[in-house]
């Protein structure tokens, strides 16, 4: 072969190799990423050509698809509306999806590998392809009650309720929320208007506060400090600081109790009474006594710092740097740099309720193929042994005492609740604290563990406490769970 022809042949071979490499890169390496890219309109048109699976809870359909006459053959509907938006999420032709709609997208649209046989069967039999259903662990009565309790009072906040024995999420409600139906339409122009309106709405209604927002836990964090103390040799009767205020180590800063009250009538008080009265001075000194390492170790055993997907990702809770003794004292009462999600606080009391065993929170109970065969089912997983059963029992008894001293409406006759409140300062210019209530019930055989946060003082402003604004909501959610919503 002469030299010019050899050069042409080499160039052609190089072009063929590059073409094959590019085809391999696009068709093999990037295939999944391109297929799952929410901007891929071809994938979306294909998805909308068949019915998407339902999202179900307690026998109710929370999301389903109905046939239309336009280019996108099926329309997504959300009968549960805003109350269930934090669990269903939305599915939009233009703006993609979130919540379970996103986390279980391959199951719902029927492309998951577990449905390969079903797709082959559909091809052979000529049956119309369809997505699979996702059944949730949510208790609809509790979810509605949580949402109605928050919104009827105009509160901003969140409620998370768990089954302490399995980790199943019984409720995950936020306020304000949004109606996913607003993002499910087929008009791009209308969707843009709805999207912009929701994103400019006060209170960030599309933010899933339960798992994405982190807050100072205030005195609800004293359960972690109490657990660290009991594991370090304290007993429920150990005498602890009862002064109305103390000076933080190496500073001139005074740390007072709520309203400047003493913690009982003496110079010391039993640990149980200090928790029931939520005495800052006692728990600040306990944190200083057990030390930063023990506090971090105990918090981690309750789930702080863990990567967690439920299957939506949960933001990590953290104690902050605790760079000196004063910071450690303040961290012991849930202030300074301590930050938690409502999910984390629900996990904390769930572990206490479950004899110290921390179960992984899960939202999906099972997935069901179009032929009604179960594809996958929830397998409860233990994350940690947060504390020993003996310490968990001591904490439970202390929380029962705390509930007896907690004010607020909604007490349930013949149901013993174990609880702890929190009133968290967070630098608000109007001094309006966040109110917390963490609890489980019945105390002797826990079926529900929950965390409630009401932001910025609810309707009581600077006078608010966790007991006055958050506890009544928590008790109503517990009532709905134990009495079936009656």
Helix H or strand E segment including 195: helix 188-200
CA-based nearest residue to 215, from 381, 438, 395, 9? 438
Task: Determine the Cα–Cα distance for residues 439 and 416; give it in Å rounded to an integer.
Answer: 11
Quick check: 287 and 332 in contact, CB under 8 A?
Answer: yes
Q: Is the dihedral of CA 475, 478, 482, 483 positive or negative?
A: positive
Name the 3-class secondary structure at 438.
Answer: strand
Report how far Cα 329 is from the mean position of its chain's Cα atoms: 28
Q: How many CA atoms lie within 13 A of 52 on its CB side?
A: 33
Residue among 73, 56, 80, 65 nearest 133 (CA): 56
Catalytic residue among 92, 97, 219, 419: 219
Q: Where are the beta strands (DSSP E) in 316-410?
A: 357-359, 364-368, 374-377, 382-385
Q: From CA 97, how far away is CA 406, in angstroms rounded?
A: 41
Nearest to 224 by CA among 470, 101, 391, 43: 391
The b/e string for 465-481 (b: 16+ C-beta within 10 A; e otherwise) is bbbbbbbbbbbbbbbbb
- Per-residue buried b or exposed e for 40-49, using 16+ beta carbons within 10 Å of the residue's own CB: eeebbeebbe
Query: How deeply is 207 buried, as exposed, middle or buried, from its count of CB atoms within 10 A (0-12, 13-18, 19+)?
Result: middle
DSSP string for residues in 72-126: S-EEEE-TTGGGGHHHH--EETTTEE-HHHHHTHHHHHT-SGGGHHHHHHHHHHT
Report whether 445 contacts 240 (CB < 8 A): no
Would residue 219 show up in a list of annotated catalytic residues for this protein? yes
Contact in structure between 118 and 370 (CB atoms under 8 Å):
yes
Among residues 179, 143, 186, which one has the least CA distance to residue 161? 143
d(CA 479, CA 70): 45
How far is the C-alpha of 414 from the C-alpha of 53, rounded, in Å?
Answer: 42
Distance in angstroms (rounded) separating the CA atoms of residues 143 and 366: 19
Radius of gyration of the chain (CA): 27
Indicate if the alpha-carbon torsion angle 156, 210, 469, 466 is positive or negative: negative
The torsion angles phi and psi of 262, rounded to 5 degrees, stand at: -70, 160
Q: Active-site positions?
A: 219
């Amino acid at each position: 072969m002469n030299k010019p022809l050899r050069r042409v042949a080499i160039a052609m071979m190089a072009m063929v190799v590059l073409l094959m490499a590019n085809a391999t890169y696009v068709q093999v390496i990037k295939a999944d990423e391109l297929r799952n890219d929410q901007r891929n309109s071809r994938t979306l048109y294909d998805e909308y050509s068949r019915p998407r699976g339902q999202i179900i809870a307690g026998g109710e359909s929370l999301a389903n698809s109905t046939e239309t006459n336009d280019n996108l053959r099926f329309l997504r509907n959300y009968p549960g509306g805003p109350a269930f938006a934090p669990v269903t999420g939305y599915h939009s032709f233009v703006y993609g999806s979130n919540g379970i709609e996103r986390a279980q997208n391959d199951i719902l649209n029927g492309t998951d590998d577990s449905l390969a046989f079903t797709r082959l069967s559909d091809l052979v039999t000529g049956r119309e392809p369809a997505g699979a259903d996702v059944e949730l662990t949510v208790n609809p009565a509790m979810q509605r009650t949580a949402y109605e309790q928050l919104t009827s009072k105009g509160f901003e906040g969140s409620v998370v309720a768990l089954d302490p024995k399995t980790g199943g999420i019984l409720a995950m409600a936020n306020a304000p929320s949004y109606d996913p139906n607003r993002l499910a339409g087929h008009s791009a122009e209308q969707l843009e208007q709805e999207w912009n309106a929701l994103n400019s709405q006060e209170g960030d209604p599309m933010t899933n506060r339960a798992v994405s927002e982190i807050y100072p836990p205030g005195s609800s964090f004293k359960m972690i400090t109490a657990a660290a103390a009991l594991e370090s040799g304290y007993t429920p009767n150990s005498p602890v600081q009862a002064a109305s205020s103390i000076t933080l180590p190496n500073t001139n800063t005074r740390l007072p109790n709520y309203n400047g009250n003493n913690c009982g009538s003496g110079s010391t008080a039993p640990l149980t009474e200090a928790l029931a009265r939520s005495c800052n001075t006692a728990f600040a000194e306990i944190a200083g006594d057990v030390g930063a390492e023990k506090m971090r170790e105990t918090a981690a055993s309750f789930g702080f710092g863990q990567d967690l997907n439920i299957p939506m990702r949960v933001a990590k809770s953290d104690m902050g740097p605790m760079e000196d003794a004063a910071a450690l004292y303040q961290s012991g009462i849930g202030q300074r740099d301590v930050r938690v999600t409502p999910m984390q606080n629900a996990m904390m009391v769930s572990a206490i309720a479950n004899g110290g065993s921390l179960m992984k929170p899960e939202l999906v109970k099972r997935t069901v193929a179009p032929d009604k065969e179960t594809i996958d089912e929830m397998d409860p997983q233990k994350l940690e042994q947060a504390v020993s059963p003996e310490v968990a029992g001591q904490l439970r008894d202390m929380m029962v005492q705390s509930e007896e001293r907690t004010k607020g409406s909604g007490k349930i006759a013949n149901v013993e609740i174990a609880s702890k409140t929190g009133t968290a300062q967070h630098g608000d210019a109007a001094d309006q604290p966040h109110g917390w209530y963490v609890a489980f019930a019945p105390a002797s055989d826990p079926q529900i563990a929950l965390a409630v946060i009401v932001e910025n003082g609810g309707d009581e402003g600077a006078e608010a406490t966790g007991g006055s604004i958050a506890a009544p909501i928590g008790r109503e959610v517990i009532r709905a769970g134990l009495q079936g919503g009656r």
